[in-house]
Structure 1
C-alpha cells in the first residue's frame, strides 16, 4: 500500500499543479472522479489445456481523475483538460507481474493533460493530447495549432513525441507498432535480437488543410510522419470529406494512403438519406491494420478487408424503433509466398474468403422503461456466428435508481479455433443509485457460460463524482 500511495502522489502531481492554477485564476472548473473495484478472472494461456482451463484472478482498484478548467485568464478562452488513471491489482503479486513483459500490479498513467487557447478562429493546445482522424488514433506530447477563417478555410499543424502504450487497453508489448519496453530488459541481459531502436523516442508530426461547413461541405487533406533515430517509421496521407444539411441527403468519405508501401490502407464511403420516419444508408469500406515499419506483420502478413453495408432505420410514431442491415465482406489475406500456410490458402476447396450476413432489431421506450432486441448472423470466412442480445432497463424514483439487464445467446462455429465452438451464454445486471446531484454508485454483476472459459464471473463496483464550481 505504501507503493500505491507513492504512485498516487507521483501521478497526481500534474493535476495538483493544474488545480492550484485553476483555483487561483480560473472562473470555473470541473472535477470528475471514478473509483472502480473490479473482481474477475482471465483465462491462462500457459500451463492449461482445453479440458482443464486455468483462470487467473484479477482484484483491481482503479481510480480515474479528470480535471477541466475554464477561463484561466479573465475574459479569454484559456483552459486546461486532464485525465489521470491509477490502479492496483491485489490479485497479482508484484513478483508474478515482473515475469510477464508489460504487466504491472500497480501504476499511474497520465492519459492526457494539456492547456488550450482559442479565439477568433484560432485554437492551440500544449501538452499530452489525443488526436484522431481517418487514419489512426494517437497520443503525443507536444503542440497543436489550428486556424479556420470566417470563410471556412484553414489549416492545422501538430508535432511531438509519440506516446506508446497509454491507451485504456494498451500495452507497449503488444502494440502493432513494434515498440516494446521489454527490449530494455533484453538489452541489459544481452539477449540476441534485442533492438535498441525499439525503445528510442519517436517524434511524430503532421499538418492538414481544412474546409469547414461551406454550404454543408467539410473536408481535410492531411499528412503524417513518424521517425525513429532519423528514419521514417510511418508515413501517411489522408483525405476526408463530409456533406450534410440536416434531413435529406448526406455523405461521408475518407481515404488513408500508406506512403511507405505506396498503397491504399483505409477507405470509407457512405451515402445516407434521412427522412422524418425513414433513414436509408449504403456504405463501402476498405479496412486494414495500420502498422509501422518496425512490425514484422507489416511485411509478412497483410490482411485487408473490403466490406459493404446497407441499412434501413424506421421510426414511426410511438415508442418503437426498427432497423435492418445487410453486410458482405471480402478478405484479402496476403501471406509470405514461401510459407506453407500461403500454399494451403491457395488450394482448391480451401476456406472461403468472403462472409455474408445481416442483423435486425427493435428498440422500445415507454416512460421509464427501455428495451432493445438485436439478432445478427454471419457465415463464410472464419465460420459462422449467430448472436441474440436482449437488453432492458427501468428507472425508479424519478430516475434516481436504475436497473438494467442484458442477456446474450450466441451459436459460434469458428473455423480457426476449435475451442470457439458451441453455445455461449452471457448475462449482466447493472444497478445504479444517484446519491446527490454530483455522486452516483453502481454495481455490475456479469456471468458468462461457454465451452471456452467454462464459468466466467465478473463483479464491478463503481463510484462516480462530478462537481462543477
Structure 2
C-alpha cells in the first residue's frame, strides 16, 4: 500500500499543478467527491464445475474527485473541469493482476482535466478531454477549437494523443475494442508475435463542418466530420461521419447519423429516427446499423465482424394523471461477415444455416404520485440465438423532507441461449438502494443486490457510496 499511496500522491500532485494556478483566481468553483466500497464476486465461466466453482472476489475501494472552476478571469468565460479516479482492489493480489494484460489491483486514472475558454461563438479546450459523436467515444490529450458564426455556420478542429495504456497519468479511458493496451508482459516473456507498437503513442486529429440553421431553418443542425489516428506512422483508424438533426418541439422531429469506415470503405454505424410528438402521445420509427469499431491492429477487423441491422417502432402515451405507457416492436438481423479468402467463410454461408433474425417487443408503464415512483417493463425476443423473456419492476419513495429515499428493483427472466447451454432457465434478481442526505452537500448510500439463477446459484453484492458536492 505504501507504493500505491506514492502513486496516488504523485498523480494527484500532477493534477494539482495543472489546476491550482487557475483555481487561485476563480470567482466560483465546484468540488465533487464520491467514495465507493464494492464487495462482490465473479464466477468463472471456464474451468468451473457447479460443485467446484472458481470465484474471483472483488473488494474494491474507488474514490472519484472532481474539481471545476468558473470565471478564472473576471468577466471572461474561462474555466477548467477535471475528474480523478483512484482505486484499490483488495480481493485481487498484485501478483495475480500482473499475469493479465491491462489488469491492475491499484492505480489512479485521470479521466479528464482541461482548461476551457469561450467568447463570441469561439470555444477552446486544452488538456485531457472526452469527445463524443455519432462515430465513437474517445479521450485524448490535446486541443479542441470550435467556432460558430452568427449565421449558423461553423467549424471544429481537434487533435492530440489518444489516451491508451501509454497515457501520461492514466490507463485507457476509451479506445477501439479488440486490442490490448500493451504487450509489455508478452515481450518480457519473449512470446512470438508480441507487438511493441501497442503501447506506442497514437496521435489523432479530426475536423468538422457545422450547421445550426437560423431563421426558416431554425431547428435544423448538422455536422460533416473526419477523424484519423496513427500508430508509428501507419493509419490505425480513419472515419468520416455525417450527422443531422431537426426538431422544434411538437410535431415532426428527426435525427440521422452515418459513420463510414474510410480504411475499408464500408458503412460502420448508421441511425435514422423519425418521431411525431403530440401533447398526449408520441410515435417513432427507427432504423440502425450497429457494428463493432476495431483498431486496424485487431485480428477481428480483417478476418471477422458481426454487424447488426435493427428496426424499431414505438408508441408512447401520456394521458392526464400520474401514469405513462409505452409499447415497442423490435426486429434485428444479425450478420457474421468473414474474410472471403477463408475456407470457413464458404462453410458459414451455406444454405440452411441457423436463422439470423430475431423479433420481439416490449411494453411498460410508469407511475409518479407525490413522493412515490414506480415502473414496470416487460420484454420478449425470439429467433437467432434463442429466446429471452424479461420483467422488471422498480419502485421508490422519498420520506419526510426528501433527505432519505428508498428504491427497489425486482427482475425475473427466462432465457434459452442458443450458444451457451449454461444460460438456460429462470433468473431472478433483487436490489435495494437506501440513500440518506447528511447535509445539503453530502449524501450516503447503501446498495444491496442478490441474484439467484441455475448457474451462479447465489450471487450477493454490497456497495457503499459517499458523495460530497460543494459549490462556492
Give the shorter-chain TM-score range.
over 0.9
The match for 2:9 is 9
Distance in 2 (CA, whole Å) between partners of 1:173 and 1:294 is: 18
Structure 1 residue 266 corresponds to structure 2 residue 269: yes
Structure 1 residue 451 corresponds to structure 2 residue 459: no
The alpha-carbon deviation at position 182 of structure 1 amounts to 3.9
The match for 2:331 is 328
The alpha-carbon deviation at position 216 of structure 1 amounts to 1.1
Contact in 2 for aligned 1:267/1:287 (Cα 8 Å): yes
1:321-350 residue CA offsets vs partner (Å, 9 max, x unmatched)? 000000001112112456676455434443
Q: What is the correspondence of 1:5-404 to structure 2 with a 5 Å cutoff?
A: 5-18=5-18, 20-164=20-164, 176-214=176-214, 215-337=218-340, 342=345, 345-404=348-407
Distance in 2 (CA, whole Å) between partners of 1:373 and 1:325 is: 14
Structure 2: which 5+ runs fail to align?
Answer: none
1:414 to 414, 417, 420: 417
Distance in 2 (CA, whole Å) between partners of 1:346 and 1:179 is: 27
Contact in 2 for aligned 1:172/1:179 (Cα 8 Å): no
Distance in 1 (CA, whole Å) between partners of 2:345 and 2:389 is: 29
Contact in 2 for aligned 1:353/1:381 (Cα 8 Å): yes
- TM-score normalised by L of structure 2: 0.95
Distance in 1 (CA, whole Å) between partners of 2:219 and 2:181 is: 46
1:358-397 residue CA offsets vs partner (Å, 9 max, x unmatched)? 0000000011000000000000111100000000000001
Q: Secondary structure at the match of 1:256?
A: strand
1:172-219 residue CA offsets vs partner (Å, 9 max, x unmatched)? 699655543441222233221011222211111000000024311000
Structure 1: which 5+ runs fail to align?
Answer: none
Contact in 1 for aligned 2:258/2:270 (Cα 8 Å): yes
Contact in 1 for aligned 2:41/2:459 (Cα 8 Å): yes
Q: Secondary structure at the match of 2:295?
A: coil
Q: Aligned-pair RMSD on alpha carbons?
A: 2.0
Q: Secondary structure at the match of 2:6?
A: helix
Distance in 1 (CA, whole Å) between partners of 2:365 and 2:20 is: 49
The match for 2:464 is 461
- TM-score normalised by L of structure 1: 0.96
Between the two proteins, the alignment pairs up a number of residues equal to 467
Contact in 1 for aligned 2:166/2:199 (Cα 8 Å): no
Distance in 2 (CA, whole Å) between partners of 1:124 and 1:331 is: 41
Contact in 2 for aligned 1:395/1:401 (Cα 8 Å): yes
Distance in 1 (CA, whole Å) between partners of 2:314 and 2:222 is: 25
The alpha-carbon deviation at position 79 of structure 1 amounts to 0.4
Distance in 1 (CA, whole Å) between partners of 2:45 and 2:422 is: 13
